[in-house]
Chains A and B, each alone.
Chain A
Amino acid sequence: MLSASPLPLKIQQLSVSRQGKQLLDNVNATIDSAGITIILGPNGAGKSLLLHIAHGLEEPDRGSLLWNQHTPKPQEPWRAFVFQKPVFLQRSVQSNLEYVLSLHKVPKTRQSLLIQQALQHTGLMQLSGQSARTLSGGEQQRLNVARAWVLEPKVMLLDEPTAELDPSGVATIEMLIRKIAQQNTKIIMTTHSLDQARRLAHDILFLHRGKLIEHTPAKVYFSQPKTSLAADFLAGKLLDTH
């Protein structure tokens, strides 16, 4: 268990290859600031894989990723993961939240309080009795965030959480993410959208072909990128992903 802060997140010489392809190549980074960290890069850069490793869903071939000197395992309640495409149980909105709390053995008396909070924050109060699978795309993603938030995690990892949403859905989720960050939950999220990174990021890890090209504060990244690759990406020049 992790009692103190989960930070710093230390990534050292992290490498992963699958079927002869180098997906992550000697990534080194330290994340120790609160707020929103964006992992940015074109498709196939290794963003999702890095995030999966940070939740203990995949293991690196070489190197390490440590949360305050601790190797992550998926069943730790201080950290939550949000997929791009959520899968919900064939139950009501409320039951889907109860399920997560029961998995982590949260006492029933506390469950209802946490569920009320999560529903309120995400604006799903009216829909609590509805079947999760009949929600609209935007509502489903709100429930996806609520399901991660309900455990009051210290860290939330989000993998392209708005990739499938319309502009108003994107705005809602981004507002939620900011709100969660303000309540001292560390956010690390992947995106390929420069605009989204501009709107949300405190610092940026820019990945390309499995390599970490730069890790800089967002302001620096957008005003004076250190590398020509980052400058190309900012200029909208397509980066070869193969």
Chain B
Amino acid sequence: MNDFSQAFLKAIQLIIQLDPDLIEIVGLSLQVSLTAVFIAGLIGLPLGAALALYRFFGRGLLVALLNTFMGLPPVVVGLVVYLILSRSGPLGALGLLFTPTAMVIAQVFLVTPIIAALTRQTVMDANDEFHAQLRALGAKSPNMMNTLLWETRYSLVTNVFAGFGRAIAEVGAVLIVGGNINHNTRVMTTSIALETSKGNIELALALGVILITLSLIVTSAVMSARHAAHKMYT
């Protein structure tokens, strides 16, 4: 127990001193996950909205795939992206394996289904509520889609943050395609796994504290945004 509290104090010290290694790892984590979530949002938001509002060939299959992919184990995603990017894989020539770009790609695969599936549900619920009224007011399809997206904007932001939560916390995919290379592809989760197995509990704990704090900040930001919206307009 004493060891633990000492390690914890040391961890806090590392954070307060802005330890360069720590900063680098946290920075890369944020960079990779934010980029991945940004790209996943660009794909997932319109995809989810389209699945909610339009009927087209293959829609049912796409929905089933999305729902399956939502719960995909990160290590499997990592493995697939690894195979695609490895020397003998179809995109091997790009030489992306063990780079932050590979980690972004893997996380895009992880996060896009989450954002798309949640967005589909959000927009579908809103459509149930608004469709008849908007149509009677004279809205055509494009107006309708814009209105629904705007009306659900707070929920959509929450969906994106849910995607970010998954990206920043997952370890399997980034470990496989990134390789956890020091000063290159080492992020918070992979470092925690590595440092723990090395017995370097201080750094692992410091990273854990930061990870939890980040989640806390994100969650409370989302909650207060929702609360403010609720107070203003319901």
Chain A residues packing against B (C-beta within 8 Å): 55, 57, 74-77, 81, 83, 86-87, 89-91, 99-100, 103-104, 131, 133-134, 147
Contact = CB atoms under 8 A, between A and B. Distances in A.
B223 interface: no
A57 B134 CA distance: 11
B213 to A, nearest CB: 32
Contacts of A76: 138
Contacts of B140: 75
Given A90-B233, A131-B233, A133-B234, A103 B143 contact: yes
Counting from the closest, the 4 A-B pairs by CB-CB distance are A90-B233, A75-B138, A87-B133, A81-B136
B138 A100 contact: yes
Interface string B100-138: 000000000000000000000000000001101101111
B138 A83 contact: no
B151 interface: yes
Given A131-B233, A134-B234, A87 B139 contact: no
Given A75-B140, A103-B143, A91 B233 contact: yes
A10 B133 CA distance: 25
Contacts of A83: 132-133, 136
Contacts of B1: none
Where chain A touches its partner, the secondary structure class is loop
Contacts of B233: 90-91, 131, 133
B32 to A, nearest CB: 35
Nearest to B139: A103
Nearest to A103: B138
Interface in B127-173: 129-130, 132-133, 135-140, 143, 147, 151
A167 B143 CA distance: 37
B232 interface: yes
A86 B138 contact: no
A74 B147 contact: no
Contacts of B133: 83, 86-87
Nearest to B129: A87
8 contacts: A55-B136, A75-B138, A77-B138, A83-B133, A83-B136, A87-B132, A100-B138, A147-B137
A32 to B, nearest CB: 24
A231 to B, nearest CB: 35
A77 B137 CA distance: 9
A147 B137 CA distance: 9
A75 B139 CA distance: 7
Contacts of A134: 234
Nearest to A86: B133
Nearest to A131: B233
Nearest to A77: B138
B126 to A, nearest CB: 10
Given A87-B129, A89-B151, A57 B234 contact: no
A103 B135 CA distance: 11
A103 B229 CA distance: 24
B152 to A, nearest CB: 9
Interface string B206-234: 00000000000000000000000100111
A147 B136 CA distance: 11
Given A83-B133, A87-B132, 6 more contacts: A81-B136, A89-B151, A103-B138, A104-B138, A131-B233, A131-B234
Contacts of B138: 74-77, 100, 103-104
A74 B234 contact: no
Nearest to A132: B233
